[in-house]
Every structure is written in structure tokens, then in C-alpha cells.
Amino acid sequence: MKEDASKHQLYDLILFDGVCNFCNSSINFVIDHDTQKRFKFASLQSEVGQQYLAQFSRNKKDFDSVLLIKNGQLFEKSDAALHIAQHLDGVWRRLYFLKWIPRTIRDMIYDLIAKNRYRIFGKSDACRLPNPELRERFLG
């Protein structure tokens, strides 16, 4: 059954590379530090992820950036990461001050990590499957 991507905009949605070990670990980190359950998740490879890539006129095979859909607006790379950190529990929200560093510098560092993430952290053969208690937070 095809899901309508627009119906999921009542909360912030994180789109991530579902076969990237670093990305999956990052999603686990967000889950552990998002006690308000503000975020929902979908892999970029999923049907929902593909619908959002199309909705925002993005290449459907471009999985090099975490994307955040917040209030109908798309954030990518370091902007997405900082907006996510802003809503996490504890000291992580304080990382948002890094927003004052010019985006070109932040994204240069982000791109360096993204370019090497498979080589450094590895790659899975398939997207992660959430356990039953987390399934409601994953779309697609």
C-alpha cells in the first residue's frame, strides 16, 4: 500500500541512508536522546523516502546526506544535523551554537565524513528493521 508522504508532516521526519552503519548508529543515538519522541524516521531507500526526495526535487539515488523535514521545510547536511541536535535531551542541544560557523565550512566537514562513511564504518546489505516498540516511529 502506497503511503502519502505529505500526511507525515505533523512531526519532524529524519530521512537517512538505511544501509549505512554510521547512519543507523546515528539514528539509534537520536532515538536514545529523543525522549519526547519528536522525530520519526524513514530510510532514503524506502518508498516514503523516495516520495520525499521526489517532492523536494532531489535525486532519488542521492543518499549522501541526512535530510530533515521540519514544518514542511527541507534541511540537509550540517543544517539537518544541528536542527536535530537542537531537540535532543541533555547537552546535545547546545551543539546548535555551531550554526554560527558558516555553512560552507560545516558542510565541507560533513561531506568529508559522508564521502568516507562506508569505508570507515561499513555498509549493511539491507535497511534496518526496527524492533516492535520502535516500529511506530519508522515510516515506510
pTM for the predicted model, two decimal places: 0.83
Report residue 133: phi and psi, to 5°.
-70, -20
Select 5-126's CATH number: 1.20.58, 3.40.109, 3.40.30, 2.60.40.
Answer: 3.40.30
- Domain spans in the chain, listed from the N-terminal domain onward: 5-126
pLDDT in tens, 76-100: 999 999 999 999 999 998 988 899 9
Mean pLDDT per 10-residue segment, the chain (140 residues): 48 91 90 94 94 92 90 95 95 90 95 87 69 82
